[in-house]
Structure 1
Amino acid sequence: MKPSINTSLIVLAQELNERVSVLVEDEYEKSRLGAWAGMLFIASMKIDDLADGLFNENKEILSFLTKYKSELTADLAQRINDIESSGPTDIKISSLDEFNQKLKSLLIQAHSELEEKNQSSALKDIWIVLRVIHQNRKVNHLLQAIN
């Protein structure tokens, strides 16, 4: 049975940190190897949750845009309608991320318009969406591994 991607990344991070870095004399290069090992370790912990996080983030943004599109300009509302019907056709991380970037662009424009109109309930809701986005991007998972 093949090891999972997570396990492979963890082993690679450990090998870099414990076996390869001791062979390098230059302190700068050692620190770079340590940084790479740390990033691999973080990636191994986040890889399973990445697609799910993007999927939920996309759902959250799209829900917000749909809820407030009647209060936006006709052009922006039409672009929201267009993107609703052109969601990703698969669950690849690259597809979900590409869709996510398009949604975020619309979210920024919607935020700007709603701020100009001083729509307090919409502004309150957008902060909830932004909090969800921020939660998905945090790296505090590493703290669990240190303890």
Structure 2
Amino acid sequence: MKPSINTSLIVLAQELNERISALLEDEYEKSRLGAWAGMLFIASMKIDDLADGLFNENKEILSFLLKYESELTEDLAKKIKDIELSKPTDIKISSLDEFNQKLKILLIETHSELEEKNQSSALKDIWNVLRSIHQNRKVNHLLQAIN
């Protein structure tokens, strides 16, 4: 049986860090290689959760946009309806990420419009969405694993 992609990435990171970096004499290059190995290790830990994280993030952003679409200009409300109809039909990371980027553009436009209208409850909700997005993207909790 073939090893999982996670296992393959972990082995590659270890090989780079332990065997290949030992062959380098330049400390700067060793440091760069160590950083790349660390990123591979982090990727191996996060790859299983990436699609699920994007799916949930997209769902959360779209839910927020739909909740407040009636308080937005007609043009922005139409963009939200249009994007709702263009949800990805597959679970490829590239499709989910592309949809995520479109949602974030609308989220920024919505945030700006709601700030102009001084909608305090909506602004509180959008900060919760932004906090959640930031939480999903953090890797700080994995940094100790690469030292």
User: TM-score range with shorter-chain normalisation?
Assistant: over 0.9
- 14 and 146 in structure 1: CA distance in 2 versus 1, 3 angstrom threshold: closer
Residue 59 of structure 1 aligns with an amino acid whose one-letter code is K
What's the Cα RMSD here?
1.1
CA distance in 2, matches of 1:12, 1:120: 49
**Deviation string for 1:27-85 (max 9, x for gaps)?**
11111100000000000000001000000000000000000000001000000000001
C-alpha distance in structure 2 between counterparts of 1:66 and 1:34, whole Å = 44
1:1-147 superposed matches below 5 A: 1-143=1-143, 145=145
Aligned length: 147
Which 4+ residue blocks in structure 1 deviate beyond 4 angstroms? none
% identity of equivalent residues? 89
The TM-score, its normalising length taken from structure 2, stands at 0.97
Q: How far does the alpha carbon of each residue in 1:7-42 deviate from its partner, in whole angstroms, 9 at most, with x for none?
A: 000000000000000000111111110000000000
User: 3-state DSSP class of the match of 1:35?
Assistant: helix
Q: CA deviation at 1:146?
A: 5.6
Q: Is this contact kept in 1: 2:38–2:146, CA < 8 A?
A: no
Alpha-carbon distance in 2 for matches of 1:23, 1:76? 57
In 1, are the aligned partners of 2:54 and 2:96 still within 8 Å (CA)?
Answer: yes
Structure 2's unaligned 5+ residue stretches are: none
CA drift of 1:89 comes to 1.3
Write the distance in 1 (CA, Å) between the matches of 2:129 and 2:47.
22
Q: Distance in 2 between matches of 1:146 and 1:83?
A: 39
TM-score, normalised to structure 1, is 0.97
